[in-house]
Structure 1
Amino acid sequence: MVDSQKLAVLGNPVAHSRSPQIHQDFARQTGVELDYRKIVVPDGKFHEVAGDFISVGGVGFNITLPCKGDAYDLAELRSKSATRSRAVNTIVAGAAGGIFGDNTDGAGLVRDLTQNLEWKVANQRLLVLGAGGAVRGVLWDLLQAGPQYIHLYNRTSSKAIAVVEQLGDSRITARELDDLEQGYDLVINGTSAGLSGKVPDLPENILGKHSHCYDMVYGSGTTTFNEWCLSTSKCEVADGLGMLVEQAALSFKLWFAEEVQTRELIVSLRETTRPMS
């Protein structure tokens, strides 16, 4: 009998997490025997909980809020994406040289945009909304996709400025509300405002008929942000469910060196998804 590979998602809360369902689908595709758990991390206990899981044979784990910074500290080796974002969402426990940490969020976003949605990022003019952990985790990978530039807007401008300074790339700049341009090619919402039914206070002219709008949250219907985009310009919209699946596929590849198919799973999850971050 083949021993199951022990994996988990660590965070607080994790009850809503789709990670076990997603990775069990990947396991069926590849023939991997998988034991994937949800583990709640009490405040201040991440290193203890992670260490306990590794000690009982955990080969790796995903990390959700609010523990991605703690996972960054735990990692002894880090990918460029993790280093740039200072956040880790995937740990490989048995990597040569020590515990390896990666952040697959940004690459998952780019894969969803360019492969699933077939939207362009290269040479496009991007506006990204927000400066929290979700946004910091994807900006470096967005830059690697070759946009013409990225404008970063956050209601508290000092936070956006700090994120830009950390990245140190001339293609990304922080912008005030009255400095935003008209008709961006791609607008990505990385704020959580939509979860409470709110839309960031934005000028309508940031959108044009050619614009594409992407909300990093997702739900069973159109998100609040995407509803605003549709009512403003009739542009194309998408939410973050595809990003969720694509970042998971990249995590699975880190653990098992296996490529998986994602499109049918995204469709299946879409049919059963309720609103969440």
Structure 2
Amino acid sequence: MSFYAVFGHPIAHSRSPQIHRLFAQQEGRDLVYQAILAPLDDFPGAVRSFLAAGGVGANVTVPFKAQAFAMADQCTTRAQAAHAVNTLFWHEGTLLGDNTDGVGLIRDITQLQGMDLRGKRILLLGAGGAAQGVLTPLWAQHPKSLTVANRTLHNAKVLQDAFPSIDLRISTLGDLDDDYDVVINATSGSLQGIDLPVATSVLGRAEFVYDMMYAPQLTPFLQAARQAGCLKVADGLGMLVAQAAASYALWHGFEPDVAMVVDAVRANMEQA
């Protein structure tokens, strides 16, 4: 029997099993999908055990996306662009690595949130793996400009050098003094309760503020944006579901209804 999983550390909080079960219900498929706590010192061993037991597809979350990229026999173009893998697929004796984070973010912003990114001045906060995974898809939307702001300029510069085909501007969080139409938080600050040193004027002048993190209520970052005067904000639940849908489509050839699952998961979060 084939089965599926999400690997992470920690992983107990993951909503991926619920999301994929809802996708399977839409399709009418019997699905076995579990959350696996992979040891920090042996992610490859955990994946090999999973495959040996009949595993076919897996999602990969922090902190293993770079290791998944290194482990894959073959990577899709978007995984190569992101230098990270969040989806593994054991297919015809080959371990395929994909990255659906970027497509998930773009689908949420442009379709579910109705925000056209063409010609927009986009500010991406953070220079870690989450930012790295979405740079190329964001640039493909043809924004007027794309800026990465980070606590340290060094890490932003590393990201800039890693993507020479993108006209990427960089800044520290404290030095932002420009107007941006769209602000995207790619840091984990909302989960850790850390306030980002971003001027409230930057958030207040934005047309749209987005946080890749999600919570039953507005994240602290989105609360700050609302208080600063931004009228349109959204968290990353839609991104989570949309990237999962792209993984599901890769494995099963079925395109789930993302909006329906977002609503169901949101309702479940609010009731918890």
Could you say which TM-score interval applies, normalised by the shorter chain?
over 0.9
CA distance in structure 1 between the partners assigned to 2:24 and 2:102 by the alignment: 23
Aligned length: 270
1:31 positional shift: 2.1
Provide Cα deviations, 1:21-72, integer angstroms capped at 9, x if missing partner: 1101111111222111111111221111101111121111011111111110
Q: How does 1:87-236 map to 2 (within 5 A)?
A: 87-94=84-91, 96=92, 98-177=94-173, 180-209=176-205, 211-236=207-232
Task: Determine which of 27, 33, 37 is the counterpart of 1:36.
Answer: 33
Provide Cα deviations, 1:55-113, integer angstroms capped at 9, x if missing partner: 1211110111111111101111111221122110000111x572110110111000000
CA distance in structure 2 between the partners assigned to 1:170 and 1:244 by the alignment: 25
Q: What's the secondary structure of 2:134's corresponding residue?
A: helix
Would you say the 8 A contact 2:100–2:246 is kept in 1? yes
Query: Match of 1:220, as an amino acid?
Result: P
Task: Determine which of 52, 56, 59 is the counterpart of 2:53.
Answer: 56
1:266 is aligned to: 262
CA distance in structure 2 between the partners assigned to 1:207 and 1:35 by the alignment: 42
Would you say the 8 A contact 2:208–2:230 is kept in 1? no
Query: Match of 2:144, as an amino acid?
Result: Q
- 149 and 169 in structure 1: CA distance in 2 versus 1, 3 angstrom threshold: farther
1:197 positional shift: 2.7
Q: What's the secondary structure of 2:133's corresponding residue?
A: helix
Identity of aligned residues (%): 39
- 83 and 257 in structure 1: CA distance in 2 versus 1, 3 angstrom threshold: same
CA distance in structure 1 between the partners assigned to 2:32 and 2:154 by the alignment: 43
Q: What's the secondary structure of 2:62's corresponding residue?
A: coil
- 176 and 257 in structure 1: CA distance in 2 versus 1, 3 angstrom threshold: same
Q: What's the secondary structure of 1:59's corresponding residue?
A: strand
Provide Cα deviations, 1:160-209, integer angstroms capped at 9, x if missing partner: 11011101134211123465343311000011122233321112332455
- 186 and 27 in structure 1: CA distance in 2 versus 1, 3 angstrom threshold: same
CA distance in structure 2 between the partners assigned to 1:178 and 1:28 by the alignment: 47
Would you say the 8 A contact 1:183–1:208 is kept in 2? no
Where do 5+ consecutive residues of structure 1 fail to align? none
1:255 positional shift: 0.4
Higher mean alpha-carbon deviation, 217-226 vs 170-179, is at 170-179
Provide Cα deviations, 1:213-248, integer angstroms capped at 9, x if missing partner: 000000010110111111112331000000000000
Superposed structure 1 runs of 4+ greater than 6 Å apart: none
- 170 and 38 in structure 1: CA distance in 2 versus 1, 3 angstrom threshold: closer
2:83 is aligned to: 86
CA distance in structure 2 between the partners assigned to 1:106 and 1:203 by the alignment: 26
